[in-house]
A = this chain, B = another copy of it.
Amino acid sequence: MAEFRLHGFGESGNAYKVALMLALSGADWELVPVAFFKGATREESWRANVNSMGEVPVLEHRGETLTQSGIILDYLATVLGKFGGKGEKEAREIWRWVLFDNHKFSSYYATLRFLYGLQKTGETPITEFLRGRAKSAFHILEKHLADRKFVVGDRLTIADLSLCGYAFYDEETGINRADFPNIEAWKARIAATPGWKPPYELMPRAAGG
C-alpha cells in the first residue's frame, strides 16, 4: 500500500489539486477511484465511513483521514516540506489565496464547468450567473499576476496548486481564455514544473468507464 491514499476521480479539479501536489513532490501515492457519476459520494455508507461532507478529495495518511483540498494541501506542505510558506506572514498570504479560491474562484468556475461542460445543460440563467461570478474572480487573479510569476513569493506554492486545479481542464465553459493572458502564462509556468501532468493523466475519468 502506498504511503498516501487519495480518494478521487479524474473529473474532480479539487482532487487534481492534491494529486498534482503529490506528483510534483515525488510522493509515494495511489488513487482510490470514486465512482462519482454512479452516486458513490451520495451514499450513506460513504458519508459515514469516508467523508460526511460528501466530497472528494479525501486523503488517508498515517491512520488519519483528511478532507477539504485546502487543509490537505497545507498538511502535505508540512509533511513533504514542499510548496509551503516561508514564515508566518507568507503562510497567511497563501491561505488568503486558498480561501479566495474556495470561496470565489474554483467554486463558481467548477460549478459552471460541471453544468455547462460535463452535464451539458446548455446556456441557462444559472450558467450565465455562474460565468459572471467566475469571470469576476478570473479578473482579480489576472490583475494579480500582471507583475508576478506565481501567486505568492515568486515561486510555486500551494496557493498556485489550489487556484490552478480547475484551470487545467479543457471542457467548455463559455469563458474565452485569450481574455486572460496572464493566467495562461502562469499555467504554462506551472505546467513546466518537472513531474507536471494534465488531470486525466494523473487520475482516470469516472464517467464513461
Chain A residues proximal to chain B, CB less than 8 Å: 52-54, 64, 66-71, 74-75, 89, 92, 95-96, 99-100, 102-104, 107, 124-126, 129, 140, 143-144
Contact = CB atoms under 8 A, between A and B. Distances in A.
B125 A53 contact: no
B107 A95 contact: no
Contacts of A74: 95
Nearest to A129: B126
A71 B53 contact: no
Given A102-B99, A129-B126, A140-B53, A92 B107 contact: no
Contacts of A99: 68-71, 99, 102
A24 to B, nearest CB: 21
B52 A75 contact: no
A64 B89 contact: yes
A124 B111 CA distance: 18
A53 B126 contact: no
A104 B126 CA distance: 17
A67 B126 CA distance: 28
Contacts of A126: 125-126, 129
B125 A96 contact: no
A129 B128 CA distance: 12
Q: Which of the listed residues A67, A103, A126, A140 has the most CB atoms from chain B within 10 Å of its own CB? A: A103
A66 B92 contact: yes
Contacts of A107: 103, 107
